[in-house]
């Protein structure tokens, strides 16, 4: 039994505590009954949070996540969604790409945190994530802090680990927030920094209102993490 949140890293990246909605939990249970499937715990957790679908919409490239009501409607005809055809009744649609060229789905394989794949415009299926929780985290990370007005870049850093974060904490001059999941946040006057120590993809993300401050912050962090400043 998994006793911790599957989506804690996503919540810590957002620095959010999403409430669980009792009516959403009832909808998830109803969805499970209609689909005649034991929905995985990771799915149940995420779709029980108030605002979860809206987060998937906000942190995207104008893609369209399905609401629980739409997933419930899908249960009437499990053979496909829009123009995509499903060969398996364990495929559940999640997000339609903004040009309707891709459809991201989970494949319910009996695990608590199932893999995610997508159909392309020719109905070819590709597995892209080993778990729903990693899929959601990466979508948020890839769109985190972007509003069209700030300079933003990601930089992968093999030196990003919890021990390094602890060392960094003693050198930060403003509020430093470090979470048990391995996510940390801090701010300079004009730049926000988020660090992920996720084992498979340690990363540092900056977004800033000022390019000079961003570069100064990035150069400072190079004392602790190994990465190239691409600007």
Q: What is the pLDDT of residues 94-124, one digit of tens each?
A: 999 999 999 999 999 999 999 999 999 999 9
pLDDT at residue 222 in the model: 84
Q: In this structure, is residue 230 part of a structural domain?
A: no
Q: Taking a C-beta distance cutoff of 8 angstroms, is the pair 17, 7 a contact?
A: no
Position 229 scores a pLDDT of 62
Looking at the chain, the whole-number percentage of residues with pLDDT higher than 70 is 90
Question: Total domain count for the chain?
Answer: 2
Q: Are 146 and 152 in contact (CB under 8 A)?
A: yes
More confident position, 72 or 209: 72
Q: pLDDT exceeding 90 applies to what percent of the chain?
A: 55
Cβ pair 98, 64 in contact under 8 A: yes
- Distances, alpha carbon 27 to alpha carbons 115, 151, 173, in Å: 22, 40, 46
**Together in a domain, 124 and 156:** no
Rounded-to-5 percentages of helix, strand, coil across the chain: 30, 25, 45
Asked if 32 and 121 sit in the same domain, the reply is yes
Model confidence, pTM: 0.88
Residue-level pLDDT at 223: 84
Please, are residues 160 and 154 in contact by the beta-carbon 8 Å criterion? no
What is the per-residue pLDDT for 1?
42
Question: Which pLDDT score, from 0 to 100, does residue 14 have?
Answer: 93
Q: What single DSSP character describes residue 30?
A: H
Q: 125 is in which domain, residue-wise?
A: 8-138
- pLDDT tens digits along 28-72: 999 999 999 999 999 999 999 999 999 999 999 899 999 999 999
Residues 88 and 151 both lie in one domain: no
Strand spans (E) along 64-213: 64-65, 80-81, 84-85, 91-96, 103-107, 116-119, 125-129, 151-156, 176-178, 183-187, 191-196, 203-208
User: Is position 2 within any domain?
Assistant: no
The reply to whether 37 and 102 lie within a common domain is yes
Among 123, 138, 153, the domain-final residue is 138
Beta bridge partners of 191: 208
Q: Verify that 160 and 80 share a domain, yes or no.
A: no
Task: Provide the 8-state DSSP code for 77.
Answer: -
Residue 221's pLDDT is what? 86
């Amino acid at each position: 039994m998994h006793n911790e949140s599957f989506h804690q890293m996503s919540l810590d990246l957002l620095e959010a505590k999403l409430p669980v909605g009792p009516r959403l939990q009832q909808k998830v249970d109803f969805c499970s009954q209609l689909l005649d499937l034991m929905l995985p715990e990771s799915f149940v957790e995420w779709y029980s949070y108030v605002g979860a679908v809206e987060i998937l919409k906000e942190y995207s490239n104008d893609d369209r996540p399905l609401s629980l009501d739409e997933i419930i409607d899908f249960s009437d005809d499990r053979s496909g969604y829009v123009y995509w055809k499903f060969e398996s009744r364990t495929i559940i649609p999640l997000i339609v790409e903004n040009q309707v060229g891709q459809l991201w789905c989970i494949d319910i394989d009996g695990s608590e945190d199932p893999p995610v794949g997508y159909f392309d415009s020719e109905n070819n299926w590709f597995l892209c994530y080993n778990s729903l929780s990693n899929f959601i985290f990466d979508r948020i990370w890839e769109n985190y802090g972007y509003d069209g007005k700030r300079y933003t870049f990601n930089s992968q850093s093999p030196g990003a680990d919890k021990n390094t974060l602890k060392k960094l904490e003693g050198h930060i001059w403003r509020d430093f927030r470090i979470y048990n999941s391995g996510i940390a946040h801090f701010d300079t006057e004009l730049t926000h920094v988020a660090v992920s120590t996720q084992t498979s993809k340690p990363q540092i993300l900056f977004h800033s209102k000022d390019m000079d401050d961003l570069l100064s912050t990035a150069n400072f962090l190079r004392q602790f993490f190994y990465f190239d400043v691409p600007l």
